Amino acid sequence: MQKQNRMNKVTNYISEAFEELKSNVTWPTWEEVQKLTIIVAIFSVIFALATWGIDTVFGKAIAGFFNWIKG
């Protein structure tokens, strides 16, 4: 009986969650989705290039430091 009660609670929670998504969530239009996807892609590329640049600079700095120590 306990297991059935838990299963009913889970099923009820899932159905209420889907009802919430259908009735109370404001979904963006297809045009907004496309525009925002392009913005996210551009910032992802910029962030990846910045990370690569910083990694390269620090890598060269650390290599130079260890070469200086080896002397």
Mean per-residue pLDDT for 45-69? 97
Task: Return the pLDDT at 4.
Answer: 78
Please say whether the beta carbons of 21 and 29 come within 8 A. no
- pLDDT at residue 45 above 90? yes
What separation in angstroms does the CA of 21 have from each of 15, 25, 31, 66? 10, 5, 20, 57
How do the domains of the chain map onto residue ranges? 3-70
DSSP code of 24?
Answer: T
pTM of structure? 0.60
* Rg of the Cα atoms in the chain: 26
* CA 30/CA 27 separation, integer angstroms: 9
